[in-house]
């Protein structure tokens, strides 16, 4: 490899300068400290406390901008994460950066500051000590605004009693404290309010106390602050984990990740409303699913593919579970003999996902549960599979009449979820062999009864999260099916033509990432699991 050929030269350069490095680092450290003190002194002199008044003024103050413009040499080894503060660091000097979550002035000589970083919090104590910490510093800290970014340097101490107001069970005895970036004194919402559970609010109300309840729209309008609540930190880390497991599992099963275009000519397949736009003079729209292109990848010999990407739906849905833009997890694969091969992937993938979330995301789930209580998802080792007919029969037996060849509405789906839970003890199951008429034209009919189809939906807690099926791979039959569904075959000829050059039998499914997270965590609104949700009324922030 050519890069290796050039390596000795590079390493030569490295070792030549190796001896100088340590000395340089030390000098840089000293220089940095000098500059910091200079800057802090400058800042302090400009503030209420003049340098004459406080000989210790260099130990605190607002950091002036130039200090934050990559002036100091890199030495991230100086920093300790709040989450890493523990008894093991007792009596050691640490430097942390975080937010001033709460500030409590006890007296002229003492103030408490809870500093938060990535969801972890630590109590910092500022006590006036002659020649070490000045009263002016205590005053400065007391005047900080909440949510400001601060650098705190101090000694780790271990208090006798357990600390209730912070995650870390040590304190920092502050020696220096600088404000890196000040938040507005009055925030549109407080993190504390946004993090409050309904249970807490109700309990307080019963005790005659009225606590602030931050409603959904206010949260979303101020998402930058709302995101900081422990529950939201948990939700989006879980979302990340769902995507990660989805990928890892599929990669390990020989799937290839693809990226299909979101800008497509004309209008997308299927019935849902599309967002239209002008593409260099051509009519175009935003893909409402990667359906066509993932099937083309199968016809292009990739065997098994998946995609994670945005999906656009211009529908006027104002429900708790619809968005105009969401993240689609899409899968398509060759099948040898049966659409059950696709269901097998769904089964193993999701059981692996739930197992992993329960095992590896305990902290996050706990943080979510604290604000939004929920029961852990009940699921089986081998996912329950019911035919649509069996589902209809269960509903019928329970006194719910549904059209045996129609679709289930949201209410029937919920009811069936209840019945399944009671009978089989699972909140995760697959319903397959749907009536053909309620599925898209490209769905393969059943071999033994064309009123049904080789298709399935998957449910969590009574709500649909996945739709999948075997596809029609024979071009002539596909055209016939399109026509039967009232689609002008001419408008979809590029789609049909894709299957004219040899097409293997195949199937696939699509999952809504936000729905998976919402339902796994028993949340009541999909806007809670989209970082910046888009619905018919919301296009910001």
Catalytic machinery residues:
313, 315, 321-322, 464, 467, 515
Alpha carbon distance 444, 454 (integer Å): 6
Q: How far is the CB of 70 from a copy of itself (least distance, A)?
A: 4
DSSP state of 316: -
Q: Which C-beta is closer to a copy of itself: that of 56 or that of 417?
A: 417
Alpha carbon distance 333, 255 (integer Å): 8
Q: How far is the CB of 122 from a copy of itself (least distance, A)?
A: 15
Q: Is 76 helix (H, G, I), strand (E, B) or coil?
A: helix
Query: How far from chain centre, in Å, is Cα 44?
Result: 41
Q: How far is the CB of 31 from a copy of itself (least distance, A)?
A: 13
Q: How far is the CB of 425 from a copy of itself (least distance, A)?
A: 3
Q: How far is the CB of 237 from a copy of itself (least distance, A)?
A: 6
Q: Which C-beta is closer to a copy of itself: that of 181 or that of 524?
A: 181
Q: Which residues is 384 bridged to in the sheet?
A: 429
Burial of 297 (0-12, 13-18, 19+ CB in 10 A): buried
Alpha carbon distance 169, 86 (integer Å): 7
> What's the per-residue H, E or C state across 409-465?
CHHHHHHHHHHHHHHHCCCEEEEECCEHHHCCCCECECCCCCCEECEEEEEECCEEE
State the Cα torsion 296-301-305-310 to the nearest 10°.
-30
Residue found by looking up tokens 């000097």 in the block: 93
Q: How far apart are the first and last CA of the chain?
A: 48
Residue 34, number of CB atoms within 10 A of its CB: 10
Q: Which C-beta is closer to a copy of itself: that of 23 or that of 537?
A: 537
Q: How far is the CB of 300 from a copy of itself (least distance, A)?
A: 3
Q: Which C-beta is closer to a copy of itself: that of 225 or that of 430?
A: 225
Alpha carbon distance 273, 231 (integer Å): 33
Query: How far from chain centre, in Å, is Cα 530?
Result: 7
Alpha carbon distance 498, 492 (integer Å): 10
Q: Which C-beta is closer to a copy of itself: that of 346 or that of 513?
A: 513
DSSP state of 315: -
Between helices 388-397 and 410-424, what is the axis angle to 10°?
A: 90
Q: Which C-beta is closer to a copy of itself: that of 128 or that of 296?
A: 296
Alpha carbon distance 262, 284 (integer Å): 10
**Helices and strands: H and E segment counts in the chain:** 16, 17
Q: How far is the CB of 206 from a copy of itself (least distance, A)?
A: 30
Q: Which C-beta is closer to a copy of itself: that of 135 or that of 228?
A: 228
Q: How far is the CB of 109 from a copy of itself (least distance, A)?
A: 27
What does DSSP say about strands 171-181 and 149-157: parallel, antiparallel, or unpaired?
antiparallel
Q: Which C-beta is closer to a copy of itself: that of 54 or that of 62?
A: 62
Between helices 362-371 and 340-360, what is the axis angle to 10°?
A: 80
Q: Which C-beta is closer to a copy of itself: that of 362 or that of 411?
A: 362
Q: In angstroms, what CA-CA distances link 312 with 111, 262, 500? A: 51, 9, 29
Q: How far is the CB of 216 from a copy of itself (least distance, A)?
A: 17
Query: What are the residues whose beta carbons fall under 8 Å from the beta carbon of 459, sequence distance 6 or more?
Result: 413, 416, 417, 420, 428, 429, 430, 431, 465
The two tokens of residue 232 are 């939201």
Phi, psi of 450 (to 5 degrees): -70, 0
Q: How far is the CB of 58 from a copy of itself (least distance, A)?
A: 18
Alpha carbon distance 201, 206 (integer Å): 9
Alpha carbon distance 70, 224 (integer Å): 25
Q: Residue 97: enclosing H or E segment and its boundaries?
A: strand 93-107
Q: Which C-beta is closer to a copy of itself: that of 130 or that of 541?
A: 541
């Amino acid at each position: 490899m050519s890069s290796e050929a050039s390596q000795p030269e590079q390493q030569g350069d490295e070792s030549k300068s190796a001896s100088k490095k340590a000395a340089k680092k030390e000098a840089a450290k000293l220089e940095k400290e000098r500059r910091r003190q200079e800057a802090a002194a400058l800042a302090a002199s400009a503030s209420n406390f003049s340098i004459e008044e406080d000989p210790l003024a260099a130990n605190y103050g607002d950091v002036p901008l130039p200090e934050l413009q990559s002036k100091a040499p890199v030495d991230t080894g100086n920093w300790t994460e709040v989450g890493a503060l523990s008894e093991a660091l007792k009596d050691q000097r640490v430097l942390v950066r975080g937010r001033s979550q709460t500030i409590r002035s006890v007296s002229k000589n003492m103030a408490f500051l809870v500093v938060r970083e990535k969801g972890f919090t630590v109590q910092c104590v500022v006590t006036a000590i002659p020649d070490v910490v000045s009263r002016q510093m205590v005053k400065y800290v007391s005047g900080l605004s909440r949510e400001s970014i601060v650098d705190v340097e101090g000694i780790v101490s271990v208090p006798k009693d357990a600390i209730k107001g912070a995650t870390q069970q040590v304190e920092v005895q502050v020696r220096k404290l600088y404000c890196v970036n000040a938040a507005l004194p009055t925030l549109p919402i407080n993190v504390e309010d946004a993090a409050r559970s309904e249970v807490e609010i109700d309990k307080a109300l019963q005790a005659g106390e009225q606590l602030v309840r931050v409603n959904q729209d206010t949260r979303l309008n101020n998402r930058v602050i709302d995101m900081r609540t422990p529950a939201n930190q948990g939700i989006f880390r879980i979302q990340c984990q769902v995507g990660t497991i989805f990928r890892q599992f599929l990669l390990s099963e020989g799937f290839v990740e693809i990226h299909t275009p979101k800008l497509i000519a004309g209008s997308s397949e299927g019935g849902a409303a599309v967002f239209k736009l002008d593409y260099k003079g051509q009519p175009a729209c935003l893909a409402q699913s990667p359906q066509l292109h993932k099937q083309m990848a199968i016809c292009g010999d990739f065997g098994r593919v998946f995609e994670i990407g945005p999906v656009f739906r211009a529908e006027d849905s104002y429900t708790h579970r619809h968005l105009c833009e969401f993240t689609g997890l899409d899968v398509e694969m060759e099948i040898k003999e049966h659409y059950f091969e696709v269901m097998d992937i769904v089964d193993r993938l999701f059981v692996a996902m739930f197992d992993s979330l329960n095992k590896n995301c305990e902290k996050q789930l706990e943080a979510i549960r604290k604000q939004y209580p929920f029961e852990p998802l009940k699921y089986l080792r081998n996912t329950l599979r019911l035919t649509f007919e069996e589902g209809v029969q269960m509903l019928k037996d329970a006194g719910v009449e549904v059209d045996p060849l129609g679709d289930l509405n949201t209410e029937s789906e919920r009811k069936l979820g209840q019945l399944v839970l009671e009978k089989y003890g699972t909140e995760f199951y697959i319903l397959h062999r749907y009536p053909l008429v309620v599925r898209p034209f490209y769905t393969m009919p059943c071999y033994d009864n064309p009123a049904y189809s080789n298709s399935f939906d998957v449910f969590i807690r009574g709500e649909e999260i996945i739709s999948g099926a075997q596809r029609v791979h024979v071009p002539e039959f596909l055209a016939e099916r399109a026509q039967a569904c009232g689609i002008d075959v001419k408008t979809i000829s590029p789609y049909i033509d894709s299957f004219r050059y040899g097409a293997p039998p195949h199937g696939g499914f699509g999952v809504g990432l936000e729905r998976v997270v919402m339902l796994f965590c028993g949340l009541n609104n999909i806007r809670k699991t989209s970082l910046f949700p888009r619905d018919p009324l919301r296009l910001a922030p």
